[in-house]
Amino acid sequence: MLALSGCGVSRGASHPALAAEAAQVWLSTPDREHLLERQRDIPFTAADTIDATRITVDRSQQFQTMVGFGAAITDASAELMQRRLTPAQREALLQELFGRGADGVGFSFVRLTIGASDFSRTHVTYDDVPSGTRDDDLAQFSIASARADLLPIVRRARAVNPQLSIVATPWSAPAWMKSSRSLITGSLDPAAYPAFAEYLRRYLDAFANEGVPIDWLTVQNEPHHEPKDYPGMRFTPAQRAMFIGRHLGPLFIARNVHTQILDWDHNWDEPQSPLSVLGDSVARRYVRGVAWHCYAGDVSAQSKVHDAFPDTETFFTECAGGAWAPNFGDNLRWNTKTLVIGATRHWARGVALWNLALDAHHGPHLGGCNDCRGVITIDSATGAVTRNEEFYALAHASRFVRPRAVRIASTSGVDDLDTVAFRNADDDSVVLLIVNSAAVARTVTVVEAHTHFRSTIAAGAVATFVWR
């Protein structure tokens, strides 16, 4: 196998002929000397290493079944890939992002915006009418604005990876449905609850007819936040419970809609908000899970809600890096430890970061974040792609952990080493991800059943081990 250059991932299949007597190793280091680079296989041995930190992997302890890892295909991301890349560049990038061949990292969980977010050139929904008028029958409903860039990119991503799962989120109801009569600020007018439910159903039906079925739906992005310069909508727990329990849920049942409803889609610091919705006996019938963001609070909030409602699924749906955090090594470590490892250890079935792709000027966008970083950066002039630290954090899991993998037990939090482990359903391989947050290298002995292997992980490094 050839080691990667600084602009891509290492070549070769992600699981070539796994042997029971050795573990494959893939490494990224904070100095960028190694970026998802294949290392020498490590042989198993029957002899334990006493002077190393012991990490035990136990496949008999099983937790959630995984959907996957990925990012949001925002309007900005879709436009850059569709308009700023040549057909050959676009296809190569989509094969890398979503494929599972020699060069693919296998993203299998993405998020779409229902209408505009701040990462759109214009603020629109799929049912905009002149100010002062209404469209209660949704006669003006149209997804035409999604056909130029968004739908072609998502369709091709699904063709590359047929196991791709999608969660979709509105940033605002159409302005005529809101108290503010504007996409910016305001709340949903209770009289418009039936119309908004039908609006969301029509969106799901329209996208499915375009070859983009939606697996999960959240009813509002960041419902406790009213941004001042891009679409948003305050939606309290009581309002969400009423909307889901009396309108959206019954409509989905009546119209045989299979898309699952997720609540919250906001930060870790307010677990009482989704707990309140789940505590509503009527709404609870229709809520399949809870979605989370990273911008406040601690990832352990996910377990607080899961423990209260164990049959509720957990998804992590947004976090962005940006110019405010320029250190590659710190970002690689934090994203891996907190989002890839932390979110999944706290029950997340899927982990999606924010913009999949942005340009060198942190856009295109209209309002909102003016210095966000995409998982990748696309040069608008040349189509050159830069893979950012978020890309490598995700890829250390997505390339090896396939949909339907099950999280299994592993020792974590010892000697500044955080871990998560999975067992793939299709070939029974085990994937162990380790991040070393210590200021010095750590030597570990990884133990499964009656076999062991030993590895030394550099300070700040991320390593993925795969064996069968």
pLDDT at 45: 86
| pLDDT tens sequence across 322-351 | 999 999 999 999 999 999 999 999 999 999
Binned at pLDDT 50, 70 and 90, residue 362 comes out as: very high
pLDDT at 337: 98
Please state the rounded mean pLDDT for residues 422-436. Answer: 97
pLDDT at 48: 62
Of how many residues is the chain composed? 468
DSSP state of 176: G
Q: Checking phi first, is residue 415 left (phi over 0); if not, alpha (psi -120 to 50) or beta? A: left
| pLDDT tens sequence across 277-313 | 999 999 999 999 999 999 999 999 999 999 999 999 9
pLDDT at 6: 34
Count the Cβ atoms, other than its own, within 10 Å of residue 89: 16
Show the tokens assigned to 6. 């600084």
| pLDDT of 245 higher than 90 | yes
Cα distance between residue 404 and residue 425, in whole Å:
6
pLDDT at 103: 86
**Which among 422, 366, 357 has a CA at the least distance from the CA of 387?**
357
Q: For tokens 């900005």, what's the residue?
A: 76
Give strand pairing partners of 444: 53, 455
Please state the rounded mean pLDDT for residues 237-250. Answer: 98
- Give the angle subtended at the CA of 170 by the CAs of 168 and 176, to the nearest 5°: 150
pLDDT at 328: 98
pLDDT at 5: 31
pLDDT at 50: 66
Positions marked active-site? 222, 318
Please state the rounded mean pLDDT for residues 91-99. Answer: 98
Q: Helices marked H in 133-268 — which ranges?
A: 150-160, 193-209, 237-243, 249-254
Please state the rounded mean pLDDT for residues 40-57. Answer: 85
| pLDDT tens sequence across 343-359 | 999 999 999 999 999 99
pLDDT at 201: 98
pLDDT at 84: 98
> What per-residue string of b and e applies to 404-423 under the rule 16 or more CB within 10 Å gives b?
ebbbbbbbbeeeebbbbbbb
| pLDDT tens sequence across 134-177 | 999 999 999 999 999 999 999 999 999 999 999 999 999 999 99
Q: What percent of the chain has pLDDT over 70?
A: 95
| pLDDT tens sequence across 178-217 | 999 999 999 999 999 999 999 999 999 999 999 999 999 9
Please state the rounded mean pLDDT for residues 364-368. Answer: 97
| pLDDT of 416 higher than 60 | yes
Average pLDDT, the chain: 95
Distances (CA, A) of 169 to 204, 208, 219, 462: 11, 15, 6, 31
pLDDT at 15: 47
Please state the rounded mean pLDDT for residues 118-128. Answer: 98
Please state the rounded mean pLDDT for residues 258-276. Answer: 98
pLDDT at 272: 98
Binned at pLDDT 50, 70 and 90, residue 11 comes out as: very low
**Which among 303, 310, 245 has a CA at the least distance from the CA of 277?**
245
Domains and CATH numbers, the chain: 22-64+408-467 (2.60.40.1180), 67-403 (3.20.20.80)
Cα distance between residue 14 and residue 22, in whole Å:
15
Please state the rounded mean pLDDT for residues 380-399. Answer: 98
| pLDDT of 449 higher than 90 | no
pLDDT at 4: 30
| pLDDT tens sequence across 64-87 | 999 999 999 999 999 999 999 999
DSSP state of 440: S
Q: What percent of the chain has pLDDT over 90?
A: 93
**Which among 239, 235, 237 has a CA at the least distance from the CA of 171?**
235
